Amino acid sequence: MKNTKVVSQSSIAGTHGSDPCAEPATIVIFGASGDLTKRLLLPALWNLYCDNLLSDRFAIIGASNAELTTEEFRNNLTENIQDFSTRDFEPDRWAGFVKKFSYLVGNFGDPKLFKNIQAEIDKVSKENNTGGNVLYYTATPPVVFGLLARMIGEAGMNKSDKGWRRLIIEKPFGSDLESCVNLSKDILTHWEEDQIYRIDHYLGKETVQNLLTFRFSNGIFEPLWNKNYVDHIQFTVAERVGVELRGGYYDKTGVLKDMMQNHMFQMLAYLCMETPNSFQADAIRNEKAKLLEAVRIMEPQAVLEDCVRGQYGPGTDQNDEPMVGYRQAPDVNPESHTETFAAVKLHVDNWRWVGVPIYLRSGKALSRKYTEIVIRFKKAPEVLFRDTPVDHLEANELVFNIQPEQGIEIKFQAKVPGVSMHLQNVRMQFEYEDAFQAARGTGYERLIYDCMVGDATLFSRTDLVEQAWRIAQPILDVWRALPARDFPNYTAGTWGPKSANNLLARDGRAWRIID
């Protein structure tokens, strides 16, 4: 297949200077000495600062149980940013930024810590004139999300006559439907829904955000976005690496919980939802909720027929070096039934999508790393070509490339030059790096910024999170009741178990081949 590259003539993104800086605020990071903070949150905040998207009137308070002074904490941050920054390090500018940090040590279940945090908030708020706005970020293990929400509330730090109070909660939000509902109840006891920002870093990716603008700003595509023209949808999130050193976490989770229930279901809602009446946060989230509510909840027999699970065995890694199987990875049960691959066929029972199957697959230790969404359209009638050398027509495709390359491509057929009628597939490609300045972000910049300006569009409400679990729960229940007997059933470095191909083949379809 030949490629035709399309280069936009738009101005370079980020140079127009029209984005206002965030509101003044104090940011309190729980788990400030942890991996998430140093690898992702710190670089994201640094990028916002360097791009003049943070107000000059801000302060950051770190809190964790690591025995550090503020000076030691700042020194650690200085080392971390040089390891994980996505831009060139500027020592003079960094010196002004890191002075905005302070640090408190304590146990998250100890009321004394929260008294100390409140005192520090009062101090830095006055020094930096933040207007009383406070953003709490739970960069912690999920087991303490509810505890932190309660402790902040019981300390009276969730409300104020001066400024707003907002709470960012990391994923995963619960480990099943029951725990999700219970966690929501615990948090909503102390917080209002409009104060809660459940974060999913996948939604911070530009290509994910572009799903909405692509659909609703281009009149040539929206009329085709329905059962009359779309044959089916494929959504793939493939990882080349295995579980590596995350075995302790992953063996209690699996790919259905780790990837599909949150990232993929939320992105699917953006892709398939009805047109909102505006780009206001609630208008978009209302339509996302309607879409997820329309996804058919599987009966046990449907799970057996339309869901595939897999677990990788020994094979090769991304460097073609030997890779141990999942069960041989550190901290993994040597008889584990946890899935590292899943493929699921979903149905959306609404007027727009009824009868259009949606195939999702995700896995670790696959042939390559990439994330893409494929809209495969129905074939044109072949009758016109009955008296030509053309024996069949290919379906047109619209592909959203999410990672590692970011872009959009369209596949269509064109006549090969010559005296006879022969067709060839060609692709028109748009790549972000060609049209726009490459983003220097971690994916968290947009999400943190949106929270600080009060835009909840990219964050999930309680109903959205719970509905995603309602879709996933029947699959989890069947898989728990019927442990897999054939694990491992695919070799590391391949495309997963053969049954994943059969899932589409029985419908006369196939996964898109990545060249």
| Strand-pair partners of 30 | 63, 138
Residue 204 makes CB contacts below 8 A (sequence gap 6+) with 441, 442, 443, 444, 445, 446, 447, 458
CA distance 427 to 405: 15
d(CA 143, CA 300): 30
Strand partners, 2: 426
Which secondary structure element, helix H or strand E, spans residue 186, and what is its range?
helix 177-188
Q: H/E element holding 206?
A: helix 206-217
What is the Cα–Cα distance from 502 to 511, expressed in whole angstroms? 10
List, in sequence order, the alpha helices (H) in 229-339.
247-250, 255, 265-272, 281-294, 300-306
d(CA 151, CA 402): 38
- Name the token pair of 65: 């149980």
Q: Which of 83, 41, 44, 47 is nearest to 62 (CA)?
A: 41
Judge contact between 191 and 149, C-beta under 8 A. Answer: yes
The terminus-to-terminus CA distance of the chain in angstroms comes to 9
- Residues labelled as active-site residues: 263
Please give the C-alpha separations between residue 309 and each of 82, 300, 312, 412, 496, in angstroms, as whole numbers.
40, 15, 10, 33, 9
For residue 91, whether the previous peptide bond is cis, meaning omega lies within 30 degrees of 0, is no
If phi > 0 it is left, if psi is from -120 to 50 it is alpha, else beta; for residue 493 that is left
DSSP structure class, residue 262: I
Longest dimension (CA), the chain: 84
Q: Which amino acid is at 134?
A: V
Residue 232 φ then ψ, to 5°: -165, 170
Which secondary structure element, helix H or strand E, spans residue 327, and what is its range? none
User: What distance in Å separates the CA atoms of residue 41 and residue 137, rounded to the nearest whole number?
Assistant: 10
Cβ atoms 202, 263 nearer than 8 A: yes
Do 452 and 60 meet the contact criterion of CB atoms below 8 Å apart?
no
